[in-house]
Structure 1
């Protein structure tokens, strides 16, 4: 399985990072998780392209995770693709339908499959998916994903405060991609800082191969070493900042 990080940014653009988006590939199976602003361009730079992605899984409905979804639908239609499946927390179907209702010319352009999910396990696009809620200002899911045929797992935290129970949800995963939106001197809720995330990682009874930090606000620019040092005061595992375009062979992670 391969993970490509399409966007590591947040609701406040930096000029160098797209908003949230992750591409999972296993053989011919592809799955896009989140589709924030800039993700469509990032996807177009991959060998898969937007033509090769017919399934989107949303962590939640904040704009920086869904704003390129309508653009993806139009691009697929113009490219001659006819289908798209969109899955996410309750309200996902209404989100897509109400977005399309604003654009009359997009009605019936694609054969859409829309599914609202509650926390639990399900199969999607050739992947086995487990979900659980994080701690955020709206309902937001963390996902554990692996090929349906078996193999190592990737866990995407979605937007969430640091939570040792969510870290334990990632026990045994080869890769955990986790929100770390701000440095320690920013007073914030709904997102972690390096210290709160490091404490949660240390408190959890979990064995994780590698942790990548994402959902980075402009406040983090130029402060990565400081943030890694702060996190390392509490957790001694492998941690690095994710960057747009990062590709990880999860089999090797």
Structure 2
């Protein structure tokens, strides 16, 4: 499967980084994970396009992860697409209902299904098999681990993990252990007094000894600008021994 990093930014986007969004594609099926502001435009520049995304999986409900959800629904309606499924943690139905209360003219334009999931059991989303884990953030948030469609691989042993928004902690590191690719929140550089997100050193310390081939740092605030190489080195120095890269919008990774 292929991962396209659509948005590596935060609630304070910069021109080269829109808000959170990740596209999974195996050639036949596609899944959009998070849909922050700017993601719809990035998605329109892919071969999949918004016409090819009928399922959105949300990590949580902060605005920088859901702002383009109604624009996606409208774009699909105008393109003649008939379905959209939105999946996410508890409260996702209330979120979508509230948005449709505001944008009432969009209600009923497509066949809209909403499903809430929990870490208690694995589930399917857009044909991908998914396991979830609660993270440490300022609101309930899920990390997700994925196996591609048609795979007999248990999603708890899947090749891709997305952290959602979270502090670095041992439970999430264990959840990602064995991943080929881990995309992890690393919102601020070292020296920043921050909670609900990790710094590079904190992340590297937690991932020391964890079996992850490639770590992609994402959800980057403007404070990280110009310090990308320093952040990569800090993760390595703190103990993580896999490949480390600061992710960029448009990055594609074969998994």
Give TM-score, length-normalised by structure 1.
0.96
* Distance apart, 1:27 and its partner CA: 2.4
- Answer yes or no: is the 8 Å Cα contact 2:138–2:196 preserved in 1: yes
Q: CA RMSD in A?
A: 1.0
CA offsets, 1:17-36, max 9 Å, x none? 11000000112110000000
Distance 1:132 1:240 in 2: 23
What is the aligned partner in structure 2 of residue 2 from structure 1?
Answer: 2
What is the aligned partner in structure 2 of residue 107 from structure 1?
Answer: 107
Distance 1:21 1:5 in 2: 7
CA offsets, 1:145-198, max 9 Å, x none? 111322652100000000122111111111000000001111000000001001
* Distance apart, 1:116 and its partner CA: 1.0
What is the aligned partner in structure 2 of residue 169 from structure 1?
Answer: 175
Gaps (5+ residues) in structure 2?
none
- Answer yes or no: is the 8 Å Cα contact 2:26–2:149 preserved in 1: no
Task: Specify which of 203, 227, 231 is matched with residue 231 of structure 2.
Answer: 227
Distance 1:97 1:81 in 2: 20
1:189-204 equivalences under 5 Å are 189-202=195-208
Other structure's SS at 2:109 match: coil
Gaps (5+ residues) in structure 1?
none
Other structure's SS at 2:35 match: coil
CA offsets, 1:77-123, max 9 Å, x none? 00011110000000101111110111221121010110111113111
Task: Specify which of 231, 237, 243 is matched with residue 238 of structure 1.
Answer: 243
What is the aligned partner in structure 2 of residue 84 from structure 1?
Answer: 84
**2:219 is equivalent to residue 218 of structure 1:** no
**2:158 is equivalent to residue 157 of structure 1:** no
Distance 2:236 2:37 in 1: 31
* Distance apart, 1:236 and its partner CA: 2.0
- Answer yes or no: is the 8 Å Cα contact 1:4–1:24 preserved in 2: yes
What is the aligned partner in structure 1 of residue 14 from structure 2?
Answer: 14
- Answer yes or no: is the 8 Å Cα contact 2:228–2:246 preserved in 1: yes
* Distance apart, 1:69 and its partner CA: 0.3
Other structure's SS at 1:98 match: helix
Aligned positions, number: 248
Other structure's SS at 1:11 match: coil
Distance 1:23 1:228 in 2: 23
* Distance apart, 1:16 and its partner CA: 1.5
What is the aligned partner in structure 2 of residue 130 from structure 1?
Answer: 131
* Distance apart, 1:58 and its partner CA: 0.1
Runs of 4+ in structure 1 off by over 4 angstroms are none
Other structure's SS at 2:95 match: helix
Give TM-score, length-normalised by structure 2.
0.95
Which moved further from structure 2: 226-235 or 130-139?
Answer: 226-235
Distance 1:170 1:104 in 2: 40
